[in-house]
Amino acid sequence: MSRLALISGRGRLPQLLADRLEAAGQGPVMAEMEGFESLSRAREGVEVFRLERLVPFLDRLQDLGVTEAVFAGAVHRPRLDPALIDPATMQLLPRIMAAMQQGDDGTLREVIALMGEWGITVRGVDDICPELLADEGVLGAIEPRAQDKSDAMRGAEILRAMGEADVGQGCVVARGQCLALEALPGTDAMLAHLAELRERRAELPAGGVFCKAPKPGQDRRIDLPALGPESVQAAHRAGLRGIAFEARGVLLIDRAEMVAQADALGLFLWARA
């Protein structure tokens, strides 16, 4: 019988998917990369692996009857320990290193290709939980103003350029000016830094919009951007007016709580086309 593997990173999303799959009686194989613990903190029987031993891990999935896999949660490219690389994985190392040199998108494409060579098809999170994606429109009671919409359009332009360079999936724009760009440290670091600048009374335009979208042309089965209640809180601490994100392009974790928090804090949540 074929099985699905849930390969997790950090955050709430892996737990949400595990609950959904178990409730549906699918009994997924749960796995996570060492150093990015999430599922193993709450569940037993989680397969823990290292990139240096990728081939034994893929062989293990085959032995468990895995034919499909879904990736969920935040990870970044780990630092490799040459002493831990097994002979079979060593044969793949040139491919892996070449993919890493091509950035996140190149790395993820190579991961999908390798899984396919082991007979494992990668599915997107939205294929399992389509309700995590929002259709176009405003969520909650707060509407974006004309300036907010203009800033969101400017943010979408910036994100397209960032995506072409494989840099990040988020930025902040206020009155047409780009205040922050998401880079390797991630969204939380970007918004926290902006909040610190506000506290120092830096000369920044008031308000602003946090913009989020997938990269152009990325394979949406892996690394689809996500927002959650903590994103709303971080945007509020950064003094922003709201969050604009691509409709059906961003995963919303705990949507009801996100909307409730945004309404309480006076922030808009806008799924824009």
Percent of the chain with pLDDT over 90: 68
In angstroms, the CA 191 to CA 207 distance is: 13
CA distances from 185 to 102, 170, 210 (A): 18, 12, 16
- Per-residue pLDDT tens over the stretch 146-189: 999 999 999 999 999 998 888 889 999 999 999 999 987 889 99
What are the chain's domains? 3-128 (3.40.50.20), 133-272 (3.40.140.80)
Q: If you average pLDDT over every residue of the chain, what do you get?
A: 92
Sequence-distant (6+) residues with CB within 8 A of 239 are: 194, 195, 198, 206, 207, 208
CA distances from 135 to 209, 245, 271 (A): 19, 11, 7
Q: What is the maximum alpha-carbon separation in the chain? A: 61
- % helix / strand / coil in the chain, to the nearest 5? 45, 20, 35
- Per-residue pLDDT tens over the stretch 120-130: 999 999 998 99
Q: How confident is the model at residue 201 (pLDDT cuts 50, 70, 90)?
A: confident
- Per-residue pLDDT tens over the stretch 30-66: 999 888 888 888 888 899 999 899 999 999 999 999 9
Answer yes or no: is pLDDT of 78 > 80. Answer: no
Residues for the chain: how many in total?
A: 273
- Per-residue pLDDT tens over the stretch 91-145: 998 888 888 787 777 777 888 899 999 999 999 999 989 999 999 999 999 999 9
Residue carrying structure tokens 């690394």: 223
Q: How confident is the model at residue 203 (pLDDT cuts 50, 70, 90)?
A: confident
Answer yes or no: is pLDDT of 1 > 70. Answer: no
Half-sphere exposure of 195 (CA within 13 A, CB side): 14
Answering whether pTM is above 0.85, one says yes
Answer yes or no: is pLDDT of 258 > 70. Answer: yes
65: left (phi over 0), alpha (psi -120 to 50) or beta: left
Q: Taking the C-alpha atoms of 190, 195, 198 and 202 in order, what is their torsion angle to the nearest 10 degrees?
A: -30
- For residue 179, the model assigns a pLDDT of 96
Percent of the chain with pLDDT over 70: 99
Strand, helix or coil for residue 14: helix
User: Is 209:155 a contact under the CB 8 Å cutoff?
Assistant: yes
Choose among 167, 168, 257: nearest CA to 210: 168
